[in-house]
Structure formats: C-alpha cells, structure tokens
Amino acid sequence: MNDEAAKYLYDMSEGRADMKVLLGGKGANLAEMKRLGIPVPDGFTVSTVACVDTMEAHGRWPDGLWDDITAAVARLEERTGRTLGGEKPLLLSVRSGAVFSMPGMMDTILNLGIGDETVHALASEADNPRFAWDSYRRFLQMYGDVVEGVPPHVYEDELTSLKARRGVAQDTDLSTEDLQELVATFKDVSRRELGRDLPTDPLEQLRGAVDAVFRSWDTPRARVYRKANNIPDDLGTAVNVMQMVFGNRGDTSATGVCFTRNPSTGEHELYGEFLVNAQGEDVVSGIRTPRPLAEMEGVLPEAYAQLRQTMHDLEAHYKDMQDIEFTVEDGTLYLLQTRNGKRTAAAALRVARDMVQEGVLTREEALQRVEPSQLDQLLHPAIDPQHGRSPVTRGLPASPGAAVGELVFDADTAAERGGAGEPVVLVRYETTPDDIHGVIVAQGVLTAHGGMTSHAAVVARGMGKPCVAGASAIRIDTSEKTLTIGDAVYHEGDLLTLDGTTGDVYGEALELVPPQINEDFEAIVSWADDVRRLGVRANADTDEDAAKARELGAEGIGLCRTEHMFMAADRLPAVRRMILAETEDERAAALEQILPMQQEDFEGIFTAMKGLPVTVRLLDPPLHEFLPDLVEQSLLVQRLELTGGDAQELERARVLLGQVKRLHEQNPMLGTRGCRLAMLYPEIPDMQTRAIIRAALAVREREGETVGVEIMIPLVAYASEIKAQREIVERAVADELQAAGASLDVTIGTMIELPRAAIVADQIAEHADFFSFGTNDLTQTGIGISRDDAEGGFLTHYVTDEVIPSNPFESIDQDGVGGLVQIGVDRGRSARPGLKMGVCGEHGGDPESIQFFENAGLDYVSCSPFRVPIARFAAARAVLKGERRADG
Ligand code: PEP
Ligand code: MG
C-alpha cells in the first residue's frame, strides 16, 4: 500500500472533498468545510482502508491503527486545550461515514469521554448540571446499545417509566435529579444485561466505539440498504471522531437539519427543522417533533443569519443542493455535516433545470445530476383528482406520490407480503433503520411520529416511495394490529390510500391516475435528445400505443407484434378456421377474411406514426396459442360424451381436440413458431405482407404521407430461412405494388433472438436489411432459462442469494447474452458494413442495458411506450459516460 495514497488516519485539516473514497462522504466534506473556513468542530477521520483491512482480518485491527488513534487524540487535546477524561474534559462524537451516504443505517456514539468525574467537571464548566447529566445518560444509552448490543428498548422503557412516574411528557421536563437517577438506572441496566459495567476508561471507550462503527457496516439493515441502492459491500466505512459540541446546553443551544432547497419539490426555499436544547439524534429519530427552521430566526437570530449565509456558500461551492446538519452551542453555530441532498425525482429535475437557468450548471452536467430511475418515478400514478373523498387524517407530506395497499404493522410482514407481490402500506409509530426491508417492498409508508427529516421521510424520498410522516392523530396498537383514526378502527389487511404529496390519508382504496409529465421533465429529456446517439423507438401494436409512443417522443416503432391482432374475439373464429383448414383452398379462404382486418389494424398504427419508420414483425407464436387449452378441450369432449349432448357439437369438439393434440408440443417456445411456422404455411407471411402494403398505400393516399415500412422475420436460426421468407415477402410486395400501380420503399430484416443467429449473423446479414436483437428470447435461449418457469422460482433465489447480480430478463446479462449481441453486431457488420441494428427485447428500456447497447454500437433501442422518455434520457447518459468502444 502506498503511504501517500492511503493512511489509516487523517486529521481533519489534511482532507478534501475529493477524498471521499478514503474519508467517506462525511469526513471528506467536513474537511472541505474546514478548508473553506466554515465552523466545524475539530477532529480526525479513521479511513475506510482501516475498516476494510479490519474486515479482511476478521475483525482484527491492523498494526499501527491504535497508535495512530491515540496520537491523533493527543494532537486534538493539544489543539483544543482539553483532555479526554481530564479536569477540562474533551468529549468526543464518533460517527460512521461511508463513501455513499446510507442515512441512519450505521452507528454513532455521542458524548464519549464522560464518566463519574467528568460529569461534574462538565456541569461546573457549563454552569449547567442538568445538561451534564443529560449528556451522561445519553452516552450510557448509546454506548450500551451500539457498542455492547443491549437492546435499545431496555433504556427507552426505563426512560418512559421515569417520565410516567414524574408525570411529564418530554425528556426535557426531567430535572437534574431525575437524570442522575436515570444514570444510576442505566448503569444497573448494563450490569443486568451484560453482567459487568461499561468501560470507564475513555480511551477504551473510544476503541470500542470505533470498532462498533466498523462492525455496523455489516449489520443486516446496512446490507439490505446497500443491495437496494447498488452500493458494493466491500467499500467499508470511515469513522469520524470529533470534539463534541452541545446542542443540549440549554435554551441558547439547538440542533437541526436543513436543505438548501426543498427536497420534495426542488423549489428554492427555506427547508429545515430544529430543536432547542437537544442533540442531533432527537431531530432525525423523530422522538421529538421538531420546529420549522424559519422559527429559528426569532429564537437564535445570529446563529440563524450565519446558517443562512453558510447554506448559500455551501451550495455555491458544491454546485448542488446540500443537506446540512448543524448544532448551536451557546449561540455559536457549528456545521456537523454537509452532503448532496437526497431528493425526490421531481425535485431532482427542478433543481437541475433551475441550476442551468441560474448559470451554475451546464446542460450536460445537469443531465448527470438526474438518475434514470428518478424519471421512472415521475411516471408513476397519483390519486385521481376527481376522487371527491375526504381524508380520514393528515400528516406531513414527506415523500410525494400516491400509494394504495393493505395495511400492515411491521416490517417483516410487509417484507413477506410485499415480497410476494401484494400491495401493502406499512404503518409504524416511527420507522427505524431496521424497518428498511419492509419499506423497500411497501407501496408507501405512514408514520404517527417524526418530521420531514425523520428516518422514514429520508429513506422513502430516496426510494421514490410515497410517505406520510408524523400523522399525530393516528393511534397504532401493534400487538392488536389495529390502527385507530377518530372513531374508525382499521385492521391488518384493510385498504388505505396515502397521498405523500399532500399528506392526506384515506381509509379506502382510491383510483389512481397516470402521472403528469411536467415542464421540468420535458426540458431535461429534450436536452438528452441533443446529446444521445442511439435512436429511441417504441414497441407498439395498437394505434393507441402508437399514439402514446409518439407523444412520448418515440422516433418510430421498433416492434409491432402482430399476434395480438389475431387474438381479438372478432378475429379468432377466422384464425381458427385457418388453422383447422384441411385444404389449401380452405386456408386461403380463411386468410382472405383475415386480411382486411389486419389491414385495418395496420392503417390505424401507420396513421399514428406517419412520417416515421415502423417495423412490423410477422406472426411469431405457435398456432396452439389460438386454440383452446388441451386439458379444457378434453374435458369438454368428455362432458359432451357423458351427457349425450348434441351430436354435431360433439363432433366439432372432437375435431378441435384432434387438432389441439396434433399441434401440442412439449416445448412450444422452442417449437413450431416464428419463421418455422411461416415455412410450413407460406400463405400466412404472404397475407400479412399484402395487408401491410395495402395499409401503407391507403394511409399515403388518405394522409399524404405514410410510414417507413420495415418487415421483420422472427426466430430465424438459418440463413436459408430468411432467404426463403424474404422471397415470399418480396413477391407479395411486388404483386401488391404492381396491382396498385404504386411504388414504395420496403425493407426486410430479421430478429436476432437465437444464439445460432448471432453466431452466423454474417450469413444472415446477406439477406437482411436490418437486424433487431430480440433479447427476450435471446436471454431464454442463450442462458437456457424458461422465463415463465424461472421468475418466481429459482431465478428469484439466484438474485436474492447473489448467485447472479440481477434478473437477466430485466437488465441484460452483459457477459453472456450481451456477448452474443456483440458477436451478432460484429459478424453482421463484417458481411454488411453499416447494417442497421436495434434491440426490441424489454432490455431496450433498461438504463443499464442501454449503456451496454450504446457501447455495443447499436443504432436504436425500442421499448414500451411509457419507457420511451427514460430510454431517451438513458441514451444521453450513456454517451456522457463516454465508455463507448472506439471501434463500436
Ligand atoms: C424478443 O424475443 O426479445 C422479442 C422482442 O420478441 P418476443 O418478446 O415477442 O418473443
Ligand atoms: Mg422473441
């Protein structure tokens, strides 16, 4: 290890904002603030390297770490003129600080260094015994919980029982004597729970605290959070050790949290909360409901003015919205943390757009401030504004969006039922980091307690989950599993609707409406259009979908599946006649009936897309899909036989059953489908081609323009298949054009959705004007997984157990299936340089896969209409990441 690059410990004055990997986000930003001359308590940071080395040695600290820490403490004592455990005591805070922020997931210990002697020294120095004893009881509680593993409720129960005995509601109502009693009780708790006292030597405490923070990297909740947020498990956390400043030193002290802009809406306005005479955890934990920041002006005017100026300076320095923690000790302001604030999707867009308008960011920079998943959130539903129902209660609008689900009262039940796909709403008195697994799968979260910066609010906003916090009128009984609002009692499983945008709660399921795409959204996505290289098309097979796709910015249709057109109730009889036909004439007659219906479908789609290209895929699924189910048809025949019903009906049912049996296949997805079917029944592609050409000409006649007609042959494995199919299609096109006396440009291409097709792409390219990678089938056949059987089965376990990083049907398996795509691209273009290529599997709308397709050198992606804006944006991000292969 290079000493220059990685030490185990850095004094705060040695750090900078760009040292996050070593110092964690908090440590790096504290150092940066110190550099900028912003008041920050002095201290040092134990680096992530020390944590990683400790984890690798199964918990054993690396040589030299402890010496580094004791030396740093000595330096800090020197600088502050105080000593740990001394007459003029130095008290420390010990906080975790990972590279990527994980709000509330890891541990903190405050007031370290306090003991039976120092408590008196602290009391007389501050001239405030109550404050000193309050700090002492907090230390015992936190150390016992975090370092020694005493269940936190044991302390909370003692605190609650003391308050009950004294007849007071707030912690701040307890007297010095009460707090002294509590300290004695907490010491008893340690003896009872651990069989010994907590360590009294401050250095020993510090060692225990640093070690506990290291360990907190690996708690189940931290792991769950990292998994949900794609944070690697091997980064480790830094540990920030700082001189304590006290927000609980009386009425001229306070602690608070603020954002430089509104993290829910993005509006440039004052946003924050504070509590007088409190320590940091009181604000974020939701134990006391804090006051709006604006009220601080009247209480602590000088510190308030300084805070406002600092907020402004920090935002200008970082060029991003900041999330700030501060403490005021006896009127003096200290910053304890600044970081880029987590925000809702709507706020992310608003802030990015405003900052471009304010001249702070370029458009490219702004695009990198928004995540594709945030656009996705904005495409989520809201409560139908016409609902006309009254809310049963109201809380704080902590994270916007609407959620409907069945009421559950604990995170485990939420995880179980939500994980099984049931919509649930998690209702808690307040959430803690241990609830994270329930929050992840819930539709939304409702809490009785806590403010806009409470744990539930911060976590829900980060995930784009609706959250109503601090709904103080609700009563929750977790043992009875009841929620009482006024006179109404709700039980587990009852339906609730939350509106995280307004804070309203409804005791019923309300209709949700599709989201509105606002100006911020449009602006950001249109900037993305100026940057992206990949084209973006949509998969659509109705005129409504086509119109929606066009409205959302699709540049054409990349996949128009034709099978749905055959399934419609008015089509099915003719389709079945075609399948059951005994002779070619019978089949031709049935197809003759289907043709005008197909033509009508195409006319609708072509009208919606006129001026743009449309890729129509010829019939793909196996024919049995248009026939009744084998078991059902057998039962029908049996029933008719047993009841001796109508002879004609029985005969018809038998004929159909015979046909169903004949068409039955063991593995239909690998059977007679795609072009294989068309090879057996060339009349089908012939009819479909004629319908396409007639539709295109009719639309041109009527509308003055038509679409770019692209006809696509599915499930090709052999060059000879596409060669034969191409001839059929070309003949039908020529026939139709000749009959109409018209001309029309038509291209004929193929799907590459079988491994063999990718491997012989050079041979196939000889007969194809374009390729479209069908990554759904390519994933099934490339990995050898049947999607319908695997999802909800072993594949779920594979993802949960991290056998594979993600579901390969959602995000492309880059090494395997992606490798096949790359082979297909390279070999196809080796035979036909510049061959147009796209992708129309579901991966075409997945941002990570889009990055891969950008690098692989495809020309366009095609995805479902609602994902078009995300794909446009993700395609720009892929360019900005600049990872495109030089030869791609
Ligand atoms: C594919 O296989 O990726 C594809 C788009 O076709 P389908 O999903 O219709 O099989
Ligand atoms: Mg397919």
474 in a structural domain: yes
Could you read off the pLDDT of 254-283 as tens digits, one per residue?
999 999 999 988 999 989 999 998 887 776
The domain that holds 127 is classified in CATH as: 3.30.1490.20
Question: Rounded mean pLDDT of the chain?
Answer: 91
Q: How many CB atoms lie within 10 A of CB 98?
A: 24
Residue 864 Cβ contacting ligand 1 at under 6 Å = no
Q: Tell me phi and psi for residue 273, to 5 degrees.
A: -145, 155
Max Cα distance, the chain (Å): 106
Question: At 51, which helix (H) or strand (E)?
Answer: helix 48-56
462 and 555 share one domain:
no
- Ligand 2 is an ion; residues with CB less than 5 A from it: 753, 774, 777
485 in a structural domain: yes
Kindly report the pTM of this predicted structure: 0.76
Integer Cα distance of 454 and 395 in angstroms: 13
35 and 159 share one domain:
yes
Q: Which residues fall within 8 angstroms of residue 297, CB to CB, at 6 or more apart?
A: 304, 305
Which amino acid residue places its CA nearest to atom 3 of ligand 1? 774
Residue 775 Cβ contacting ligand 1 at under 6 Å = yes
Residue 774 Cβ contacting ligand 1 at under 6 Å = yes
806 and 780 share one domain:
yes
310 in a structural domain: yes
- Looking at residue 707, its pLDDT comes to 97
Residue 887 pLDDT greater than 80, yes or no: no
- For the CA of 753, the closest atom of ligand 1 is 2
Residue 622 Cβ contacting ligand 1 at under 6 Å = no
165 in a structural domain: yes
SS3 645: coil
- Looking at residue 227, its pLDDT comes to 80
Integer Cα distance of 723 and 729 in angstroms: 10
Q: 92-98 and 108-112 as β-strands: parallel, antiparallel, unpaired? A: antiparallel
Among the options 455, 624, 767, 843, which is catalytic? 455
* 3-state percent breakdown (helix, strand, coil) of the chain, nearest 5: 50, 15, 35
Are the CB atoms for 829 and 835 separated by under 8 Å? yes
879, 74, 51, 55: which is closest to 527 by C-alpha? Answer: 879
485 and 542 share one domain:
no
The domain that holds 464 is classified in CATH as: 3.50.30.10
353 in a structural domain: no
Q: Is 455 a residue of the active site?
A: yes
732 and 687 share one domain:
yes
591 and 638 share one domain:
no
Q: Is 840 a residue of the active site?
A: yes
Domain boundary among 211, 243, 275: 243
User: pLDDT confidence of 883, banded at 50, 70, 90?
Assistant: very low
174 and 137 share one domain:
yes
User: pLDDT confidence of 107, banded at 50, 70, 90?
Assistant: confident
Which amino acid residue places its CA nearest to atom 4 of ligand 1? 774
Are the CB atoms for 636 and 653 separated by under 8 Å? yes
518 in a structural domain: no
677 in a structural domain: yes
627 and 600 share one domain:
no
Residue by residue, DSSP assigns 853-871 as: HHHHT-SEEEE-GGGHHHH
Q: Token match 């089938």: residue? A: 777
User: pLDDT confidence of 285, banded at 50, 70, 90?
Assistant: low
- Looking at residue 796, its pLDDT comes to 74
Residue 24 Cβ contacting ligand 1 at under 6 Å = no
767 and 675 share one domain:
yes
Q: Token match 């989520």: residue? A: 380
691 and 640 share one domain:
no
Ligand 2 center–CA 712 separation, angstroms = 12
Integer Cα distance of 412 and 442 in angstroms: 11
Domain boundary among 605, 639, 664: 664
Domain boundary among 284, 317, 340: 340
671 and 611 share one domain:
yes
Quote the domain boundaries for residue 15. Answer: 4-243
634 and 683 share one domain:
no
Which amino acid residue places its CA nearest to atom 9 of ligand 1? 561
- What residues pair up with 498 in beta bridges, in sequence order? 403, 505
Tally of domains within the chain: 5
350 in a structural domain: no
- Looking at residue 185, its pLDDT comes to 96
Could you read off the pLDDT of 496-543 as tens digits, one per residue?
999 988 889 999 999 987 776 889 999 999 999 999 999 999 999 999
Beta strands in 54-107 (DSSP E): 83-84, 89-90, 92-98
